[in-house]
Structure 1
């Protein structure tokens, strides 16, 4: 009768080595396509700091891609009266914006002389031309037909931006939802040209006041109002941090994309996306 054999240290080592062999299975790098991702940085200048500039903007675009994924899904859920999934997605959008706010801290380590040395290599490229960011602006209701033009030269990108421009915004869908729940919303805010900028309405404020004065009766709509507040709060911080970082690095020079730079960005700070959500607080 043979005694059971005890694995030798060599056998144990071979077993461990087999666990580390990913030649036949999908590895971490394969799943994330890291070869493509990490080879997408192509500095044009001899400047050391260009790598920071590229990675800062590439990672921001990845976060914005996720934001678009969540925001589009949240809008669809509101349209279908599925509020709980929408709340989860909108909360994630707010957290992504927080991530983008902190990303400016890294770019702010670039000093004015460092950026000045890099700037000629950027030509006319600018974050102002981000087709993903423009979709975010449109989906949040800041519609401006002139902002379509920077994307006309690229049909695929233009189609995506145009779709966001032509469809109801997140706030438009929220007002449609209020109306379906029996809250009186002015008809001209329910049937309007979705490509036009949103105009504040006392009637819409009264609709939200009805919700906020009886939160227990309209709890999910009340939650929706606060989710929208969270989104705009985070978006304002993101815009503000952008302005201060740009001013810190380039002062009041014109932007590479042809805008007035800091002056243009400061004007964006005055844009209010969900006006009645804010003004109702004065009337409670």
Structure 2
């Protein structure tokens, strides 16, 4: 049987047991045909053929491949957070918390990319920077969809994609969809918290405006203490929010270390713009509620 995308299905556990027995515990090294199961499963021939640096600068592959790694992690995080939103809508708090904790680990992996990129000396980056043209990370549509599912609904940031129909449609769908925070607030309301209707029925394409009643609801939840499932949810959410704040801070520091105060390739003011956006906090009342405790 062939899978819908034309690939052979993964071997069944029974077949794996037979292979294990026939090989005496050693790895299987001979495969019929022009490929191997791992190449087919990971689509490695495709994956490893799409690295196309534009210069001969020795450091550009580091910048290029780490950029692609980030995009894959953005995709993974977006999918995980969409799952969290669905779980919260279904009142499955335990599974949502579990997924959020895994999400935080992925964010740590994502943040580690800055540790590698921070090793680029200014002269190494300058050797290929002109080849970027106007390309800039803020044009990443996967990152934009990730920010939207987290709740940073800035419609203007979808504009770079408006002339790329298949991308624009996905980004607009993400802009219109509820965020993880929206799902969490709806859950709190179902559990008896005093969440104003103006918050629950707001225009989801507009930036979220913090509300004192939401802040009090989170503070009341924290006063109940550990052991409550909503308490565990709050802590898992703040861990994700903190992880993304670290992402922004590390981005700022890495850029400042490499290019100083130069303007960004995408037309931004560079470090000063990144410093401003790094102050944004996902799930704002989860942060401010701490001042009430």
* TM-score, length of structure 1 as denominator length: 0.90
- Which of the residues 196, 209, 214 maps onto 1:199? 209
Does 1:210 find its partner at 2:210? no
Q: Mark the runs of 5 or more structure 1 residues left unpaired by the alignment.
A: 1-14
Per the alignment, residue 3 of structure 1 pairs with none
1:32 is the counterpart of 2:45: no
The equivalent of 2:69 in structure 1 is 59
1:26-56 deviation line (CA, Å, top 9, x unaligned): 5212211111111111111121111111101
- What is the CA RMSD across the aligned residues, in angstroms? 1.9
- The question of 1:190 aligning with 2:190 is answered no
SS state of the match for residue 226, structure 1? helix
User: In the aligned structure 1, how far is the partner of 2:77 from the partner of 2:269?
Assistant: 27
2:65 and 2:290 map into 1 onto residues whose CA distance is 40
User: Which residue in the other structure is 1:118 paired with?
Assistant: 128
Aligned residue number for residue 269 of structure 2: 260
User: Take 2:149 and 2:84, find their aligned partners in 1: how far apart are those partners?
Assistant: 11
Looking at structure 1, the residues matched to 180 and 44 of structure 2 have their Cα atoms a distance apart, in angstroms, of: 34
Secondary structure of residue in 2 paired with 1:194 = coil
Match of 2:278 in 1: 269
Q: Name the stretch that deviates more: 206-215 or 260-269.
A: 206-215
Q: Which residue of 1 aligns with 2:246?
A: 237
- Whole-angstrom CA distance in 2 between matches of 1:42 and 1:262: 27
CA distance in 2: counterparts of 1:168 and 1:240, whole angstroms: 26
CA distance in 1, matches of 2:28, 2:73: 33
TM-score (norm 2): 0.88
CA distance in 2, matches of 1:105, 1:276: 30
Residue 101 (structure 2) aligned to one of 82, 91, 101: 91
* CA-to-aligned-CA distance 1:171-191 (integer Å, 9 cap, x gap): 111100000111111111111
Gap regions ≥5 residues in structure 2: 1-22
Q: Which residue of 2 is the match for residue 163 of structure 1?
A: 173
* Larger Rg over CA atoms: 1
**Number of equivalent positions:** 270
Displacement of 1:130 in angstroms is: 0.4
Q: Residue in 2 aligned with 1:75?
A: 85
Q: Residue 9 of structure 1 corresponds to which residue in structure 2? A: none
